[in-house]
Chain A
Amino acid sequence: MTSVTEAQKAVRPAPGGKERRGVMDRGAWFLVLPALIPILVLSVGPLLYGIALSLTDAQSGRTRPTQWIGTLNFTDLLHDTLFWESFRIGLVWAVGVTVPQFLLALGLALLLNEDLRLRWLARALAIVPWAMPEVVVGVMWRLVYNPDAGILNETIRDLGLGDGRDWLSGLGTALPAVVVVGIWAGLPTTTVALLAGLQNTPRELHEAAAVDGAGAWRRFRTVTWPALRPVALSITALNLIWNFNSFALVYVLTSGGPGGRTRLPMLFAYEEAFRYGQFGYAAAMGCVMVALISILLALFLVGRLRGGDEA
């Protein structure tokens, strides 16, 4: 950085691409290593170690040495109906949270982009679910869902819709009940991300389209959506992955019950590893989850690339 030659200036791309190309010098490496070493040692390292563990019979608190057992954990997993059931629940949960949440957030973002009076309040309140510890969100909704002292059943009784029920313990109601909490918890993040994307849409384009007589839906389709698409796809991909891997919320709400109806893959893997001490087997579960998530992510990235590089 000390010497910027005329040649470098000449090849520098027009505004927008201000990064300099080329090899990093020694000084740059000195700046990079403090963060790079911990990432490699404590993040990439454990990941590789974890993959290695999935090929062993590692267990906690055992005297016999750990042995390589090849792909035995994976063949066991293939036949583990409980695991596949949790996988199915994980997918239902991830999609069940992400899709309604996206649609709600999109509507809200469009709404909050308008000049409305209570907009500030909506933005201020949106901080609450976002900043709350997941454990607290879980606790809070347990209070709402409480069969006797909860506000949900009381509201149902007040409206004369019956006596209400024990939402989190019902075989049929537990999963929908936790899905609602998942939607609530992530709604602000998604809304804010989409709102940020909306505010990047050139207003003039909107006005020009309106002058040309385009209706609201047409303006959304031809002006808003193309500009919003990259943000929308990124946030949806991330939400799907985060939700699929989520743990704390459902752990606090139902601990995976009743009868495993809300046992997300992470809860299942946690129990295998830290309740039953099956480290190798749980690591294998983690590997399968990563593999399937990667496929999901790849599909999304392909979708994003095919849409052109609007970003």
Chain B
Amino acid sequence: MRTGRTARAGQYVALLAYLVFLAFPFLWLISTAFKPPRELGSLHPTWIPRDPTLANFRQAFDEQPLLHAALNSLIAALGAALVAVLLATPMAYVMARHRTRLARAATGWVIVSQAFPLVLVIIPLFLVLKNLRLINSMPGLITVYVVWALPFALWMLVGYVRAVPPELEEAAAVDGAGRLRTLVSVTAPLLAPGIVATAMFAFVTAWNEFFFALVLLKTPEKQTLPVILTHFIGAEGVADLGPLAAAAFLATLPSLVVFALIQRRITGGMLTGAVKN
């Protein structure tokens, strides 16, 4: 379609405004992370640190158990991703291939579960986990994360299963392959990229999660990165800006990398999800 020159110029101005709006807080975070205390205290801050330093990173690691928190986050996120995908894949397969009442109910649950205020679920879970002595423990947190990730994992996986033509499975069946054989040797390989994308999405969600971690993890040596980050902000809301920025920047990198890898697949999943349901 032809677009007039003024219209084109307007489009570029709008695009530029969008890029600035998207980028400027992030650039400011990076800039702050590399500034020495003297520049952070100045009343006229600059975009580019005049005297860039890594001192904030060192101080951040000194002040809070960042490395340990990163390890906790990693365990929680990996555990949640693996278990969620392992449980969700078989069910998603059935939901995609059989149009039963259960499949409909499960799809409905995905939407409904998004509507809960988490506080209504966390209070009972807190009481149950407390009785099981799973407060302040990784297994407890992972359990909560798995259940929390399941609906969305199901939703994504159903889309991926639907993209695998049933004709392929039927052909294998005609060739005499049993059901399990068909699933393992025909369906699973075609589904693998979708399963990986779903697992990575569950990983990022758990890595970024804050509310459950805040409620369930009591001691600093058990806490995940997002919770530890809030310790940099003091009781009166006064923050040591440099180390805070440094730690925040580090906490973002892993999810940024994973997300960059799967972003296209998620978009595809959202598209099929939004259109087919």
Q: Taking beta carbons and an 8 Å cutoff, which residues of A are in contact with B?
A: 1-4, 18-24, 27-28, 30-32, 34-36, 38-39, 42-43, 45-47, 49-51, 53, 58, 107-108, 111, 114, 116-119, 121-122, 124-136, 139-144, 146, 148-151, 154, 157, 184, 187-188, 192-193, 195-197, 199-200, 206-207, 210, 230-231, 234-235, 238, 241-242, 245, 247-248, 251-252, 255, 257, 265-266, 269-270, 273-274, 279, 282-283, 285-287, 289-290, 293-294, 297, 311
Q: Which of B127-146 contact A (CB under 8 A)?
A: 127-128, 143-144, 146
B191 CB, nearest partner CB in chain A, Å: 13
Most buried by A among B25, B93, B106: B25
Inter-chain contact B25/A144, CB cutoff 8 Å: yes
Contact partner of B99 (CB less than 8 A), chosen from A20, A151, A231, A290, is A20
**Cα(A35)–Cα(B151), bound, Å:** 9
Q: Find the A residue at minimum CB distance from B128.
A: A46
* 8 A–B pairs (Cβ distance < 8 Å), ordered by A: A39-B151, A53-B124, A118-B12, A118-B16, A133-B255, A139-B233, A140-B29, A234-B274
Query: Total A-B pairs in contact (CB under 8 Å)?
Result: 310
Type the 1/0 row for B222-244, where 1 means its CB is closer than 8 Å to any CB of A: 00011001101100010101001
Contact partner of A283 (CB less than 8 A), chosen from B12, B120, B154, B204, is B120
**Cα(A192)–Cα(B270), bound, Å:** 9
Residue B267 is within 8 A (CB to CB) of chain A in the complex: yes
Residues in A with CB closer than 8 Å to B162 are: 18
**Cα(A252)–Cα(B162), bound, Å:** 40
Residues in B with CB closer than 8 Å to A122 are: 15, 18-19, 22
- Taking A53-B123, A144-B24 as known contacts, 11 extra A-B pairs with beta carbons closer than 8 A to each other, sorted by chain A number, are A18-B165, A38-B150, A111-B11, A135-B248, A141-B25, A184-B25, A235-B274, A238-B114, A251-B230, A294-B115, A297-B115
Residues in B with CB closer than 8 Å to A53 are: 123-124, 127
Most buried by A among B114, B117, B233, B241: B117
Residues in A with CB closer than 8 Å to B42 are: 149
B223 CB, nearest partner CB in chain A, Å: 12
A205 CB, nearest partner CB in chain B, Å: 12
Residue B196 is within 8 A (CB to CB) of chain A in the complex: no
**Cα(A244)–Cα(B260), bound, Å:** 28
Q: Which of B1-59 contact A (CB under 8 A)?
A: 1, 3, 11-12, 14-16, 18-19, 21-26, 28-29, 32, 40-45, 47
**Cα(A130)–Cα(B26), bound, Å:** 12
Residue B245 is within 8 A (CB to CB) of chain A in the complex: yes
Type the 1/0 row for B246-264, where 1 means its CB is closer than 8 Å to any CB of A: 0010011001101110010
**Cα(A3)–Cα(B172), bound, Å:** 11
Q: Find the A residue at minimum CB distance from B90.
A: A31
**Cα(A169)–Cα(B117), bound, Å:** 27
Residues in A with CB closer than 8 Å to B117 are: 245, 265-266, 269, 285-286, 289-290, 293
B64 CB, nearest partner CB in chain A, Å: 13
Main secondary structure of the interface of B (DSSP, over half): helix
**Cα(A21)–Cα(B99), bound, Å:** 5
Type the 1/0 row for B83-97, where 1 means its CB is closer than 8 Å to any CB of A: 000111011011011
Contact partner of B100 (CB less than 8 A), chosen from A18, A23, A187, A270, is A23
**Cα(A11)–Cα(B25), bound, Å:** 57
Contact partner of A47 (CB less than 8 A), chosen from B41, B116, B165, is B116
**Cα(A124)–Cα(B18), bound, Å:** 12
Inter-chain contact B19/A121, CB cutoff 8 Å: yes
Q: Taking beta carbons and an 8 Å cutoff, which residues of B are in contact with A?
A: 1, 3, 11-12, 14-16, 18-19, 21-26, 28-29, 32, 40-45, 47, 86-88, 90-91, 93-94, 96-100, 102-103, 106, 109, 111, 113-125, 127-128, 143-144, 146-147, 150-151, 154, 162, 165-166, 169-170, 173, 178-179, 182, 204, 207-211, 215, 225-226, 229-230, 232-233, 237, 239, 241, 244-245, 248, 251-252, 255-256, 258-260, 263, 267-268, 270-271, 274-277
B109 CB, nearest partner CB in chain A, Å: 7
A281 CB, nearest partner CB in chain B, Å: 10
Inter-chain contact A19/B96, CB cutoff 8 Å: yes
Inter-chain contact A19/B275, CB cutoff 8 Å: no
Known: A1-B179, A286-B119. A39 touches B267 (CB 8 A): no
In order of increasing CB-CB distance, the 9 nearest A-B pairs are A286-B120, A131-B259, A31-B90, A49-B124, A133-B208, A19-B99, A35-B91, A196-B271, A46-B124
Inter-chain contact B270/A255, CB cutoff 8 Å: no
Most buried by A among B22, B244, B258: B22
Known: A114-B11, A128-B256, A133-B210. A31 touches B91 (CB 8 A): yes
B162 CB, nearest partner CB in chain A, Å: 7
Known: A135-B226, A151-B28, A287-B120. A247 touches B211 (CB 8 A): yes
Residues in A with CB closer than 8 Å to B154 are: 35
